[in-house]
Chains A and B, each alone.
Chain A
Amino acid sequence: MRSNTRTEEVLTGVGLVPGRAKGRVFVFTTPPRIEEDFIGVLDRMAGDLEKEKEDIFAQFVRLIITDQTFRNRLKTCLDLGVSEDEAVDIALRPLVERLRSADPFFARKAQEIVQIIHDILHNGTFDLPIDEDTVFVAERISIPLALKLKTRKVAAVILKELSSDSHAAIILANAHIPTVVGIDPAKFKAGEVVYVDGEAGIVSRKPIDSFDRREHIRKGRIFMTADGEEVEILLNVDIPEDVFWAERYETGVGLLRTEYLLSVDLGRVDWERFARLNAPVIIRAYDVGGEKFHGTRGAMRLLNDLKEKFDSLLRIVKRYPNFRIMIPMVDFPDTARTFYDYVTARGVRDVGFMVEVPSFAWSISEVNDYATFFSVGTNDLWAFFTGRERGTSDIKEQVNPVFGDLLRHVLNNSQRPVSVCGQLASDEDGLRFLLSLGYRRFSVSPSFFVKAAKIVENWRKDG
């Protein structure tokens, strides 16, 4: 094992807002409670939001926090002695339910709105010691903080997570504050001087011009191992707006989750952005049921109660040559054949299958005729294989010789390309384990992309 304790000189994330800046790190942690009357805080925030006239989402938030219905509900809860946090949740509940159930544009925003109101409550008036010399570092931010960063004109922002469509991102972009995403705040010491390059997605402890930026940037779909083997690295994308990451890294999408799209008009998704990636885009059909949603899980649902939605998805796939459909939770070769027949009858040429049920992994040699590709979902496969409850064991446990035998069986008995889109591929030890088993195609989470590329480049068969 290599030691990683030395402070890294250059950290790589993804550039969200271009521009370069230098400044002192301010690490933002859990905000302190406000002392002021809550309603006063809401009024002040509403005033700030009102200035963002062109911004429909900011106006929506403003209307909510000034809404008499909301305030009455809030006041009733507070009068009953409910904590402020809980009062916010209760006061917003009908609205959140409504957003979740019927609204396509704001379905995903429901939780964000609740978070925003909480943030207003927690740091609406807190005076952060930040100014034009500050590089603001945080796990993530929401609208109230973004507005504060904008008014204080901070030099740059570094975040661990921020979905590209999140409203805070739009505020930072409009304010031209260089922003890098995907770097853990724990890597910084308060007060240290850093250089930020929002274009390259780099944060450095030495001036950006003093080194070759290219050494730290990784882009593209194919990377070479140290002994010259090609390895493909694609990205897992949770929601369509996150196509942003694939654009920045110039690669394809190995897993586009579609569960979120169940409540959205597919016509409103900007599919052209995916088409322009000029790389494969693998769309996994709705994987619902089980613990993720109520009801039974399994591929056959796509041909029963989800048939209409599945058909719409197939029409999208058919429209763009780089799109592929992938079927989750397949149990036996017969099921794969049923899907192959169904999909080809609708003019879609290629179909891939998730390998995440042990019976399917075991019988993969009989599926070659019906599949164009396979992708291993390691978390489910591990859970079903070992009888562990999903998500309860450490990812590192999957680096296990018996599990390795199963994964090797899948690779060796398939005549089609097999990739791994499961979480194991987004873990340092996991990725090395998969490389050692012979896997050469991966789809990883965006925050792991650069790391994955570097691991591949240093990889040698003889170790």
Chain B
Amino acid sequence: MSKVVRKVRLRNKLGLHARPSTQISSLAGQFESNIFLIKEEADGSQMKVNAKSVFGVMMLTAPMGTELIIEAEGPDAEEAVEALAHLIEVVKFNEE
């Protein structure tokens, strides 16, 4: 099974707070694939969380401008990455 990876940047003013996290996890939950969000820390290490877990997504502590990697693996990985990237970069969680 192929792994799909895409880089996105957070564009809404408040970053990944509760409301966007809810939207991400709700959306991710609709796909069968395993989906992860990955953030590179200042020291070069990576933080990887399950995108379907609102708990995990909130723990990323990602403000505006943060670059995230969406990683999905499964039968609908392509669609999942596309949908999440759209929510984050185009719809911008319907926020400023």
Assess whether A98 is in contact with B59, with CB atoms less than 8 Å apart. Answer: yes
Q: Does B61 lie at the interface of the complex (its beta carbon under 8 Å from any beta carbon of A)?
A: yes
Q: Does B18 lie at the interface of the complex (its beta carbon under 8 Å from any beta carbon of A)?
A: yes
Q: In whole angstroms, how far apart are the Cα atoms of A98 and B59 in the complex? A: 7
Assess whether A105 is in contact with B17, with CB atoms less than 8 Å apart. Answer: yes
Q: In whole angstroms, how far apart are the Cα atoms of A323 and B73 in the complex? A: 55
Assess whether B55 is in contact with A59, with CB atoms less than 8 Å apart. Answer: no
Determine which of A67, A70, A99 lies in contact with B18 in the assembled complex, contact meaning CB atoms within 8 Å: A99
List B contacts of A59 (CB < 8 A).
Answer: 22, 26
Determine which of A56, A69, A106 lies in contact with B55 in the assembled complex, contact meaning CB atoms within 8 Å: A69
Q: In whole angstroms, how far apart are the Cα atoms of A94 and B29 in the complex? A: 22
Knowing A56-B22, A59-B26, the reply to whether A103 touches B55 (Cβ < 8 A) is: no
List B contacts of A95 (CB < 8 A).
Answer: 55, 58-59
Q: Does B69 lie at the interface of the complex (its beta carbon under 8 Å from any beta carbon of A)?
A: no
Q: Does B34 lie at the interface of the complex (its beta carbon under 8 Å from any beta carbon of A)?
A: no
Q: Does B25 lie at the interface of the complex (its beta carbon under 8 Å from any beta carbon of A)?
A: yes
Q: Does B14 lie at the interface of the complex (its beta carbon under 8 Å from any beta carbon of A)?
A: yes
Q: Does B74 lie at the interface of the complex (its beta carbon under 8 Å from any beta carbon of A)?
A: no
Q: How large is the interface on B (under 10, 10 to 19, 20 to 34, 35 or more residues)?
A: 10 to 19
Q: Does A60 lie at the interface of the complex (its beta carbon under 8 Å from any beta carbon of B)?
A: yes
Q: In whole angstroms, how far apart are the Cα atoms of A64 and B54 in the complex? A: 6
- CB within 8 Å of B: which A87-113 residues: 94-95, 98-99, 102-106, 109
Knowing A105-B17, A106-B18, the reply to whether A67 touches B61 (Cβ < 8 A) is: no
Q: Does A68 lie at the interface of the complex (its beta carbon under 8 Å from any beta carbon of B)?
A: yes
Determine which of B17, B29, B61 lies in contact with A106 in the assembled complex, contact meaning CB atoms within 8 Å: B17
For A94, the closest partner residue in chain B by CB is B59
Minimum CB–CB distance for B34 against chain A, Å: 12
Assess whether A98 is in contact with B61, with CB atoms less than 8 Å apart. Answer: yes
Query: B18-44 toward A: CB 8 Å interface, digit per residue (1/0)?
Result: 110111011001000000000000000
Query: A38-67 toward B: CB 8 Å interface, digit per residue (1/0)?
Result: 000000000000000000100110011001
Determine which of B18, B25, B53, B59 lies in contact with A105 in the assembled complex, contact meaning CB atoms within 8 Å: B18
* Interface secondary structure of A, over-half rule: helix
Assess whether A63 is in contact with B61, with CB atoms less than 8 Å apart. Answer: no
Determine which of A67, A94, A104 lies in contact with B17 in the assembled complex, contact meaning CB atoms within 8 Å: A104
Assess whether B56 is in contact with A102, with CB atoms less than 8 Å apart. Answer: no
List B contacts of A102 (CB < 8 A).
Answer: 17, 61, 63
Assess whether A265 is in contact with B22, with CB atoms less than 8 Å apart. Answer: no
Determine which of B14, B54, B59, B63 lies in contact with A60 in the assembled complex, contact meaning CB atoms within 8 Å: B54
Q: Which of B18, B19, B23, B53 has the most A CB atoms < 10 Å from its CB? A: B18
Q: In whole angstroms, how far apart are the Cα atoms of A94 and B56 in the complex? A: 10
List B contacts of A68 (CB < 8 A).
Answer: 50, 53
Q: In whole angstroms, how far apart are the Cα atoms of A68 and B29 in the complex? A: 12
Assess whether A64 is in contact with B17, with CB atoms less than 8 Å apart. Answer: no
Assess whether A69 is in contact with B61, with CB atoms less than 8 Å apart. Answer: no
List A contacts of B61 (CB < 8 A).
Answer: 98, 102
List A contacts of B59 (CB < 8 A).
Answer: 94-95, 98
Query: A263-288 toward B: CB 8 Å interface, digit per residue (1/0)?
Result: 00100000000000000000000000
List A contacts of B26 (CB < 8 A).
Answer: 59, 63
Knowing A95-B58, A102-B61, A104-B17, the reply to whether A60 touches B53 (Cβ < 8 A) is: no
| Interchain Cβ contacts under 8 Å between A and B, 26 examples | A56-B22, A56-B23, A59-B26, A60-B22, A60-B54, A63-B26, A64-B55, A67-B54, A67-B56, A68-B50, A69-B50, A69-B53, A70-B55, A95-B55, A95-B58, A98-B58, A98-B61, A99-B18, A99-B58, A102-B63, A103-B14, A103-B17, A104-B14, A105-B14, A105-B17, A105-B19
16 further A-B pairs in the complex, CB-CB below 8 A; given A94-B55, A103-B17:
A56-B19, A56-B23, A60-B18, A60-B21, A63-B22, A63-B29, A63-B53, A67-B56, A68-B53, A69-B55, A94-B59, A95-B59, A99-B58, A104-B14, A104-B17, A105-B18
Give the 10 A-B residue pairs with the shortest CB-CB distance, closest first: A63-B54, A106-B18, A69-B55, A103-B17, A60-B22, A67-B55, A63-B25, A67-B53, A69-B53, A70-B55
